A = this chain, B = another copy of it.
Amino acid sequence: MRSAADLDLAEAFYAELGLRAERVPAGVTPGVGESVRAEDPLGFTVEFFFSAAHPQRLQQRYDLRRGAEVARLDHFNIVVPDVRAAYDYYRSLGFGLSETIEDGDTLYAAWMFRKQTVHDVAFTGGDGPRLHHLGFFAHESHQVLRICDILGSLQEEAHIERGPGRHGVSNAFYVYLRDPDGHRVEIYTSDYFTGDPDHPVLRWSVRDPRRRDFWGHPVIPSWYTEATPVLDLDGRPRPLVTEKQPAEVIVGADGFTR
């Protein structure tokens, strides 16, 4: 947000929806000024702020770089029981739509953006609300490969859950790791600019095996079953709502004939 007045607007917005929202004093989230935390209609806790401390800029401190060389936090992927409802809500907030997985009747997944990239938030269908993964951007593909090599060196290769590979959706060259607490983290590179006002939506058929892996690798089973529970404003886990749309078809290397 850009000003303290925006915090008032956020608080009023959630109140009007009948949802809980509360003020958080400056510093409770380290480096962040006064904020508003709310439970959104999808069941996720979100936080709004307009003031943040600026740490030292490290982009050109190549001498300090080790390992992953992530450039920035890029997006959240969340598991929602009703992808269409999630799309409608974020659409109402002004988010753009970059890509989907769908068929004639069903929206299986959607990628939406505020900044001018493929996504700030994406929806994976499943029992939710849960966090599917955090996505971090790296500049080049060799930096993604390096993460895997380091984990192999340390005999921590079991933390590599999926990839490296290329997504059809978003064109990202990705790897997914599970952190020591089991949370899923993506490091990726090579998505694209979406800033044109008339940027066209790219719609993938749920029957195209390249949608989730451009190289035809099967999606691993844990992809659709494991995710991180989310907490409400009181720090209690949110109960799960059962997935509404059908599960994605199994294609490609898993045996579906295109």
Contact = CB atoms under 8 A, between A and B. Distances in A.
Interface of A: 1-2, 50-52, 54, 57, 59-64, 66-67, 71-72, 115-116, 139-142, 145-146, 148-155, 157-158, 160, 164, 166, 168, 171, 173, 189-190, 192-193, 195, 197-198, 200, 202, 209-210, 214-217, 252-253
A171 B60 contact: yes
12 contacts: A1-B197, A2-B197, A50-B197, A52-B198, A61-B153, A115-B116, A116-B116, A140-B140, A140-B189, A160-B215, A160-B217, A164-B164
Contact of A189 (B139, B166, B215): B139
Given A140-B142, A160-B215, 17 more contacts: A1-B197, A60-B149, A60-B153, A60-B168, A63-B150, A72-B192, A139-B189, A140-B189, A149-B214, A149-B215, A152-B214, A152-B215, A157-B209, A157-B210, A157-B216, A157-B252, A164-B164
A152 B200 CA distance: 22
A215 B151 contact: yes
Nearest to A158: B216
A193 B191 CA distance: 13
Nearest to A217: B160
Contacts of A253: 158
Contacts of A173: 145
A154 B59 CA distance: 13
A34 to B, nearest CB: 15
A27 to B, nearest CB: 17
A79 B154 CA distance: 31
Contacts of A190: 139-140
A86 B140 CA distance: 34
